[in-house]
Amino acid sequence: MTLKVKTTPKTDRSAIMRAVKSRDTAPELLVRKLAHSIRPGYRLHRKDIPGNPDLVYVGARRAIFVHGCFWHGHDCARGARVPKQNRDYWLAKIARNVERDRRNLATLDRHGWATLVLWECDLKDRDRLTASLRDFLI
């Protein structure tokens, strides 16, 4: 005997949002693979570095962020999309994310770190992505 649970749009949305990962995402894994082939030796998600970068080359003072377009307010089609429900909440949340990212990048810059922000939508062009990583890491 199975128990049926009545789902509502709110519970469905909660389940979807709980399943969203913040690390080890497909875009991040792709960047890690390419970065390792260019320059191995990075560290992951260093919490002692502002912004908790996805990849960090500590000795070279280089940090790479892999941003999802929606979550970080990119100006592409995916980033410009706003959910229809709870619109004010999402607009405020994304605005806070954008401001936090700006502050973290400024802090890293002040402390002599070079940063590279890779957007989810930019990862589709593998040749350009590889060239960007190579230019940044070598």
Burial class (CB in 10 A: 0-12, 13-18, 19+), 65: buried
Average pLDDT of the chain is: 91
Tell me the pLDDT tens digit for each residue of 32-65: 999 999 999 999 999 999 999 999 999 999 999 9
Measured in whole angstroms, the distance separating CA 60 from the mean position of its chain's CA atoms is 21
Helices (H) and strands (E) in the chain, counts: 5, 4
Domain ranges of the chain: 22-137
Tell me the pLDDT tens digit for each residue of 75-93: 998 888 888 889 999 999 9
Q: What is the pLDDT of residue 18?
A: 72
Q: What is the pLDDT of residue 80?
A: 87
Percent of the chain with pLDDT over 70: 87
Residue type, 49: I
Architecture of domain 22-137: 3-Layer(aba) Sandwich (3.40)
3-state class of 107 per DSSP? helix
In whole angstroms, give the CA distance from residue 113 to residue 110: 7
